[in-house]
A and B are shown apart, each in its own frame.
Chain A
Amino acid sequence: MSFRERLQSWRYNLVPDHLVGEILSKRWTDNAIPFLALVATLGVFGSIIPGFFKPMSLQESTRQLGEFSLVVTGMTVVMLGGGIDLSVGSIFALSCFSAVFVFFILEQSVWLALAASIATGLLFGAINGYLIGYFRLRAFLTTLVTFIFGRALFDILVTTYAADVQLSDATSDVLDFIGDDTFWGLSVAVWAAIILAIITHVALTRSRPGWHVQAVGGSRRSAHNAGIRVRRTVFMTYVFSGFCASLGGFLIACRLSGAGPGTGLNLEVMALTAAVVGGVSLGGGRGSVIKGLMGAIIVLTMTNGLIRLGYGTGTNQMVLGIMLAVAVTIDIRWLKNRHKVLDEVYVAPVYLKMATTQSAAPGSGTPYELDNRLSEADHIGLGELEGPEDVILDRDDHLYCGTRHGEIVRFFAPDYKRSEVFAHIGGFPLGLAFDKTGNLISCVGAMGLYSVSPEREVKRLSAETSRSWTSIVDDARLRDPNDCDIAPDGRIYFTDSTKRYDAHDWALDSIENRATGRLLVYDPKEGSTKTLLDGYRYTNGVCMAHDGKSLFFAESWACRVHRYWLEGPKAGSAECVIRDMPGYPDNINRASDGNYWMAWLGMRTPSFDLSLRHPDMRKRMTRRLPQDEWLFPNINTGGVVKFNEKGGIVEAMGDLSGAAHPMVTSMREHKGFLFVGGILNNRIGRYRIAGADPNWTSPASYWGAKP
């Protein structure tokens, strides 16, 4: 091995590149940028301004922050629902005035002032919501109108009543407490903001109305089609925003004991900037309360910090504008390119040097030598079937197979010309097995382990196993359950081929070649699933040995077959029985003569084997070429191989023309015939095996003669 090659193997096998893609595929990465911005802002202003973190200073800032956060929370909800609310500033101001009017001029109680304030907010929110939700007016223009109107009204009222408020001698301990005091070290404003944020967060993420808001924001049309009352949902978001703004207005009324021309001025710009900087998408549907709060802290720290550093309003507005522009650009670019970035970094190939293999070429004289026998097979369901990955026959000779449409199709004996959909499961049914009582057990790609009773009742047996501690990607979920077989005691042994890719992306796993395949067991008595083995390169076919004391399983991308011991001195351990084959093994099943059939899904090619030693080349290939151009193993030629109990190869057959059975993923012997399936094929082949026992059937081999 050259020095460069050794470096490559270290670089690509020891550096966990795959984690980048796994982290990026998590939804919480959306929070990373605003969070970093938050830390940076706090850090910068904290170090520049002396006493920034002093309790007195913080108390005043957080009181302001509490009021502001309330408004931002309302804005966040509106934006999540796909709208925008420019009138929050004027609602805030008007609510403030309502409270002041009721308390100082009418000299009523603080609680009545609060009620008046909330009523004002709800009224203006309802006007916005009614016009936008039910009248379907543009959110931007409508709230702009309410903003101008509300502001004008506020200015008139404030100038009219300013003197009266000044002259009023109404006082209240409650008002002073809300405005100036603290409760457990935090002001009422902060408490209000925290409580509202928690309630809103729970409502958005865990309640029906909250989901409706996000659904409407994500796609109005789809939400409508799904039966969500879009108009009412939009209406409610504005009412909620008005409510939030009015709470903020009430709190500032208490704090300042009055209302002035500056109340709520530019609040809408600040709130909008806060929401967008926090990462709430302008397009709707993406965002959270937490993001809104992060944005609120960033914006307020920035503006207050600039004021304390001596910059004027102009600079402040300028900074806000720049922040908004940057945030919008990042938001749009990220939204647009996130999946592209993910596509580019997700495939993280590893280094593997495949050992040299015996040739399977015709005329090579090895036990693996492929011939053209499979091309003589009769076809069943030609043109009707799509993707029979596995095939199986029951005691009455009927033939079952899965299809890529998520169905189990049954062909009727004896001529297999008539067929019906036996059951619809969904996903992509792959491996099949019959249990003792005649239930059809299937590994369903992208879904899990399922059981179909003879009465066609579909039941999910397992969709998850235990989560490992060190994995970033959720490895509890079964992503690609591939093949299963059943032990004499009824336990179902099955494989989950990869943790990194969904079932339909199985070929990407061959490019990456990372060992994440597992062997699992499902115990029907307890209903539990356990991981037995982990870290194989695409675990595939599973087959109980004839004596039921061990099982064989295929490791596709490594071209190996292993034996896992269920009992005896080696119980619980695996050993490799066939290594370095020239083809990639798929399903394994019993043969009538005491041997085993193994399907080859494709053949190794020198160019692909070489590429496995050049992980950098494969990585660049996935980035620079579209998927249709990528180098693959040669899966246009497969075959069927028979091996014995010790792992010795008995014979091999194929379809070299590729016309009938290019890729073979399964085969099942039944009464002297071999039934051949392929995941990318449009037929099942039926091949007469010379010299095979014409009475042997798989159900009888597993569960004895018919009861």
Chain B
Amino acid sequence: MLDPILDIFRGKAVTIPPLDGAFRPNTLLDDAPAFAGLTEPDNLLVADGRLLASSGNAIYRVAAGAAPVLVETFPAAVTALARSPAGELTVGLESGRLLIAGREVALPAGIGCITALAYAEDGTLWLANGSADHGPSQWAADLMKKGASGSLWKRDPASSEFRKVAGDIAFSYGLHPTGKDVLVSESWRHQLIRFDGATGSRSTLLAHLPGYPSRLSTAAEGGAWLTLFAPRNRLIEFVLQETHYRNDMLAQVLPQHWIAPALASNRSFLEPLQCGGIRTMGIHKPWSPSRSYGLVVRLDREMRPQYSLHSRANGTRHGICSVVEKDGRLFIASKGGDCLLAIDMASEGHR
């Protein structure tokens, strides 16, 4: 009864959604065999029956039992991949440029952070612009500065001009077109939102996610796969409310040592450590708070979470930004774990 009054003086407890229900933890990602090793694989794409993966400023073709084959390199890091119904490879770059079938497409001012690209069935190209202030690789700064300047763009099949559908998105990071509409993962607000293709009006589809959602991809049996590239962490959410500390941190500490989500953690002793993450008696507790995590979620046709695949705090397959389903197998790109995983959907007993 007195708590709301006392909260003014002592501060409200910072809480995050628990990993429960469809998000119940398991070790499926850490148990899965590595399909191929690749440095920081980001986007996955199936083109002409072959699996393509972007890594740095290059695209590789990946196949089982063979080293990744270099397909193409670009002047800047590849940040988004898509394939048009006509088979044209569409590539977004860190520099804010867009290439379709190797030709650069003129973009309106305001697009500089291409985080995802997706074609609807009718050939409409959707483009997620994560932030107006930062490039895709500067996502941590965008989060820690509480950025909400992302936007959603589309180009109709008949047109050659991109049109802004919506703005004020707190880092749009994934796209999943459904008919005329599109689903967007809004990372910094931990939610999936649906935008009406015609009017641009938004509705929240899935809120209170336990992590920061990134790219979406179509599931073969309907619905979608959602990746969450980093977990929510109570210390980070607390730091987001601590203006002075946060500003000093942004100004004085190197980004890799920030109290911020990460694609991989525990690699340097200069990184922050939380009490629960202390290695005790040789054990790193899997449930301890962590800045990085591996999480892939299966959404049904109504976009409700069904089940999930995890790599917990003591695992290594962290920072998953992209998955793709092909021939009954789910390919997973672990950007923080420097590898690609393949999980046989038919044989997995996790449903």
Query: Residues on A close to B: CB < 8 A?
Result: 4, 344, 360-361, 370, 386-387, 507, 603, 605-608, 610-611, 613-614, 617, 620-621, 623-637, 656, 658, 662-663, 680-683
Contact = CB atoms under 8 A, between A and B. Distances in A.
A624 B282 CA distance: 29
Contact of B238 (A4, A625, A634, A680): A625
A624 B241 CA distance: 11
A606 B257 CA distance: 7
19 contacts: A361-B268, A507-B275, A603-B270, A605-B272, A607-B272, A610-B245, A610-B249, A614-B244, A621-B235, A624-B14, A628-B275, A630-B274, A631-B259, A632-B273, A632-B274, A634-B269, A637-B269, A663-B278, A682-B282
Given A617-B242, A624-B12, 13 more contacts: A603-B269, A606-B257, A607-B253, A610-B248, A611-B245, A614-B242, A623-B10, A624-B10, A624-B14, A636-B277, A681-B282, A682-B282, A683-B282
A607 B258 contact: yes
A67 to B, nearest CB: 39
B271 A620 contact: no
Given A344-B10, A607-B253, A636-B266, A628 B274 contact: yes
A631 B274 contact: yes
A607 B272 CA distance: 6
A606 B253 CA distance: 6
Contact of A634 (B11, B242, B273): B273
B232 to A, nearest CB: 11
B278 A658 contact: no
A147 to B, nearest CB: 34
Q: Which 6 A-B residue pairings sit nearest by Cβ, starting from the closest? A: A628-B276, A637-B269, A603-B269, A607-B272, A682-B281, A606-B253
Contacts of A620: 11, 238, 242
B288 interface: yes
B64 interface: no
Given A605-B270, A625-B14, A386 B238 contact: no
A623 B11 contact: yes
Contacts of B280: 680
A370 B266 CA distance: 16
A689 to B, nearest CB: 23
A636 B273 contact: yes
A623 B281 CA distance: 28
Nearest to A382: B282
Q: Which one of A361, A625, A637 has the greatest number of beta carbons of chain B within 10 Å?
A: A625
A621 B274 CA distance: 12
Contacts, number: 118
Nearest to B270: A605
Contacts of A360: 269
B279 interface: yes
Contacts of B249: 607, 610
Instruction: Report the interface size class on chain B.
Output: 35 or more
B160 interface: no
Given A610-B248, A658-B279, A636 B253 contact: no
A146 to B, nearest CB: 38
Contacts of A630: 235, 274-275
Contacts of A633: 273
B289 A605 contact: no
A680 B279 contact: yes
A360 B268 CA distance: 11
Contacts of B277: 636
A387 B268 CA distance: 24
Given A610-B245, A617-B242, A681-B281, A634 B272 contact: yes
Contacts of A624: 10-14, 238
Contacts of B12: 624
B275 A629 contact: yes
Contact of B289 (A370, A507, A628, A663): A628
Q: Which one of B257, B272, B277, B289 has the greatest number of beta carbons of chain A within 10 Å?
A: B272
A680 to B, nearest CB: 5
Interface in B217-252: 233-235, 238, 242, 244-245, 248-249, 252
Contacts of B271: 605, 634
B254 interface: yes
A609 to B, nearest CB: 9
A326 to B, nearest CB: 15
A627 B272 contact: no
A360 B273 CA distance: 17
B272 A617 contact: no
A507 B233 CA distance: 21
Contact of B245 (A617, A637, A662, A681): A617
A584 B14 CA distance: 30
Nearest to A616: B244
A617 B270 contact: no
Contacts of A623: 10-11
Contacts of B278: 632, 635-636, 663, 680
A637 B269 CA distance: 6
A406 B11 CA distance: 39
Contact of A631 (B10, B253, B272): B272
Contacts of B259: 607, 631
A607 B257 contact: yes
A344 B238 CA distance: 16
B270 A361 contact: yes
A633 to B, nearest CB: 7
A606 B234 contact: no
Interface in B40-57: none
Contacts of A617: 242, 244-245
A605 B254 contact: no
Contact of A629 (B10, B242, B274): B274
B279 A662 contact: yes
Contacts of B253: 606-607, 610
A505 to B, nearest CB: 11
Given A344-B10, A613-B248, A624-B12, A631 B270 contact: no
Contacts of A635: 273, 278
A349 B227 CA distance: 39
Q: Which one of A608, A610, A629 has the greatest number of beta carbons of chain B within 10 Å?
A: A629
Interface in B1-40: 10-14
A386 B268 CA distance: 26
A377 to B, nearest CB: 14
A629 B257 contact: no
Nearest to B234: A629
Given A606-B257, A680-B279, A629 B270 contact: no
A659 to B, nearest CB: 8
A681 B284 CA distance: 12
Nearest to B233: A629
Contacts of A627: 275
A605 B275 contact: no
Contacts of A344: 10
Contacts of B257: 605-607
Nearest to A508: B275
A614 B248 CA distance: 10
Contacts of B274: 628-632
Nearest to B289: A629
A361 B256 CA distance: 14
B84 to A, nearest CB: 44
Contacts of A637: 269
A605 B270 CA distance: 5
Given A620-B11, A631-B272, A625 B234 contact: yes
A621 B13 CA distance: 9
B269 A614 contact: no
Contacts of B14: 624-625
Nearest to B266: A636
A633 B277 CA distance: 11
A211 to B, nearest CB: 36
A629 B269 contact: no
Contacts of A656: 269
B68 to A, nearest CB: 27
A17 to B, nearest CB: 14
B242 to A, nearest CB: 5
Contacts of B275: 507, 627-630, 632
